[in-house]
Amino acid sequence: MPNNTNRKIFDKLISKTKIYLCIIAILLIILCYYEVNFITPSILVYVLIVMYAYWTNNKRKAELSQHIKELTLTVDNAAKSTLINSPFPLVIIETDGNIIWKSSKFIHEFANIDINNYLSNIVKEIKLEIEKENQEEKKEQEDFIYKQIKIGEKTYKVVGEYVKSKEKEKKKENEYMTTLYFIDETDAIALENKYQDAKLCVGLIMIDNYEEMIQRIPDEDKPILTATIEKKLYDWANEFEGLIIKAERDTFVILLEQKYMTKLEEEKFHILDEIKEIEIPGKLQSTLSIAISLEGNSNYEKYKLAQAMIDLALGRGGDQAILRKEGKYLFFGGRAQELEKRTKVKARIVSHALEELIVEASNVIVMGHMNSDIDAMGASLGIYRLAKTMGKEAYIINETASFGLDTFVENAKQEEEYQQALIRKEEAFEKITQDTLLVVVDTHKTTYVEVPELLEKTNKIVVIDHHRKSTDFIENTILTFHEVYASSACELVTELIEYSEKNITLSQIEIEGLYAGIMMDTKNFTFKTGVRTFEAAAYLRKCGVDIIKVKKWFQSDLETYHKIADIVAKAEIVKETIGISVYDIEDPNGNIVCAKAADELLTISDITASFVIGNLGEKIGISGRSIGNINVQVILEKLGGGGHITLAGAQVEGKTIEEVKQELMNAINEYFAEIEQ
């Protein structure tokens, strides 16, 4: 850099001197033109001027060169002094492991530590990073590296710069020379951890079945029960120096520091089990739902997030704790059987609200889940009839269907009305507007609806579902009728029709669809049935349902029956009471066969839960069933699935049946390990 500057300076000097000499020459020529006697003196004077100019320029050049040389030497000495006396431990090392030089600070800092092993690992990482960059052929490669490493009791930030080693390059060896600075960040990290640990976490605790307990126990036992529950909560809070404030009769606000969250996770929120162990008259069992947020820029944001999370916990059946951490939900508990606690008042309110939304909408589109079943289709038919009764154009999306639904849809299309009402994805895009009311039935998951893109086409979305709530639920809804205690979506839709202000007349296919949906999800009124389930069935019976005809929808042909029998025969027993079998024939409709086989396995004595794994082609499907002792939903959630305690499913992509089976076994082992803790 100094040499370039020097050259520029002298170029300027020389060019200016030439100009002056030219001017002098012109003046002398003019003078000689008018006076001939001045020619000889002019030549002598001009020669002297040229010689003087040359001498002064050379002298100036020598002075500047000496100054630049002295300046360069001074800078080099300062740089060397700074390098040697660096306040940070410093080492110059080649990527082949050869140490070129260590600073005195480096030697002193790591005098009692075998630093060579750490350096070897760092150098290996640097070399891999350089090779990766060379392979990617980045146009702008950064010659700096940043690593964090723990050496002994301290944590260092390693900052380095690497260049091509000239000696190695001459030998055609691909090695680099790296200068590494070790910056001690131990105190800074400790301070940051202390700050993070002191952050406040805000949560909510809700007694799931408070109203039911208060109504069913004697008056004299009520104060004792509430005092017992509250004392256990306060004692639990004292374990981690937390604060619990009673907000309502069944709701508490909890405040605690973030440093205690690891302890709560390790203990799996044992307060859930302690509350369930409280003896309550009438063989009742109390359960809690807990939601704690570690995220949010303010305590108010954390509280609002906790409110949304408590709804998620209740939507999953209660008896569980949910943490929001690093953008993910962590679930603990959730093994108790759901308790029916719905009221007719809510069904009536939702029914009236839905009618108002239908009246305000330009048209209504009903959508179920992918691989639609009779529960989703039956519920869709019920909403369709409600909308038509309100005088609105209504459509049902029929994009995909499971094996058992094809015959039902064909029967429905025999009616001219449903030939127009059942539409495909492309037609739905043409008919939907911002004023369309989109009703989603039998699912609440954004990734599982029939046509996910439609969720972005309108702001008027209604969700009617009975599955345990998952983390990818549809958020921008204007009305949600999500009752995890219901048996099926058809049961919920039947209640909405029953409590409608309009006199709704269902067609025969609609009655059969609603009744068949309830029958399918309850396995002929065996699982997950409550009082309201039979009331909905009674209403449909009164409407004129042909039970024998509905029963025929669920009959299996002889070939399917043989498949189910083979699956059951191949079943193996794990954990003494869990039956697992595999349907390894590739079958796009294998989910129906697997579901029926899982149901059949539960008819065998001593089997309390069953899982059947099937090859669906692009995916591997799992059907899980239980009589209630084992929560198949919690198990299959570990594989990305969901459902209910007694009925759940999952689909896995990109893996073989053997790999999925091993993952299922791992999930079962984890489930039992958590119970034993």
Stretch 43-47: mean pLDDT:
81
User: In terms of domains, do 287 and 161 share one?
Assistant: no
CATH of the domain at 452: 3.90.1640.10
Contact call for residues 284 and 213 (beta carbons, < 8 A)? yes
Domain assignment present for 338? no
Domain assignment present for 152? yes
Of 528, 552, 576, the last residue of a domain is: 552
Stretch 259-273: mean pLDDT:
86
User: In terms of domains, do 391 and 408 share one?
Assistant: yes
pTM: 0.59
Q: Which residue has the higher pLDDT, 235 or 177?
A: 235
Residues 173-211 have pLDDT tens digits of 566 778 888 888 888 888 888 888 888 899 999 998 888
CATH of the domain at 647: 3.10.310.30
pLDDT for residue 319 is more than 50? yes
Residues 397-444 have pLDDT tens digits of 987 666 567 778 888 888 888 888 899 989 999 999 999 999 999 998
Stretch 222-226: mean pLDDT:
87
Domain assignment present for 219? yes
Residues 454-497 have pLDDT tens digits of 998 898 999 999 887 777 788 888 888 888 878 899 999 999 99
Q: Which residue has the higher pLDDT, 20 or 449?
A: 449
Half-sphere exposure at residue 475, Cβ-oriented, CA atoms within 13 angstroms: 5
CATH of the domain at 257: 3.30.70.270
pLDDT at 134: 63
Residues 542-565 have pLDDT tens digits of 998 888 888 777 766 778 888 889
Domain assignment present for 592? yes
User: In terms of domains, do 240 and 151 share one?
Assistant: no
Alpha helix ranges (H) inside 528-631 = 531-543, 547-552, 558-569, 590-601
Average pLDDT for the chain:
81
Of 84, 101, 136, the last residue of a domain is: 84
User: In terms of domains, do 492 and 355 share one?
Assistant: yes
User: In terms of domains, do 436 and 318 share one?
Assistant: no
C-alpha distance across the termini of the chain, in Å: 70
Distance between CA atoms of 663 and 192, rounded to whole angstroms? 38
Residues 83-122 have pLDDT tens digits of 666 777 888 877 777 777 777 788 888 888 878 778 877 8
Domain assignment present for 339? no
Domain assignment present for 236? yes
User: In terms of domains, do 319 and 349 share one?
Assistant: no
φ, ψ of residue 102 to 5 degrees: the values are: -125, 140
Contact call for residues 165 and 176 (beta carbons, < 8 A)? yes
Domain assignment present for 575? yes
Domain assignment present for 53? yes
User: In terms of domains, do 113 and 37 share one?
Assistant: no
Number of domains in the chain: 5
Of 21, 49, 84, the last residue of a domain is: 84
Q: What are the percentages of helix, strand and coil residues in the chain, rounded to 5? A: 50, 20, 30
Q: Which residue has the higher pLDDT, 600 or 61?
A: 600
Distance between CA atoms of 64 and 427, rounded to whole angstroms? 84
User: In terms of domains, do 364 and 246 share one?
Assistant: no
Reported confidence tier of residue 79, pLDDT bands at 50, 70, 90: low
CATH of the domain at 153: 3.30.450
In terms of residue numbers, what domain contains 622? 558-676
User: In terms of domains, do 417 and 472 share one?
Assistant: yes
User: In terms of domains, do 171 and 241 share one?
Assistant: no
User: In terms of domains, do 365 and 469 share one?
Assistant: yes
Query: Inter-axis angle of helices 508-522 and 489-498, to 10 degrees?
Result: 140
User: In terms of domains, do 357 and 460 share one?
Assistant: yes
% of the chain with per-residue pLDDT over 90: 22
pLDDT for residue 296 is more than 90? no
pLDDT at 244: 92
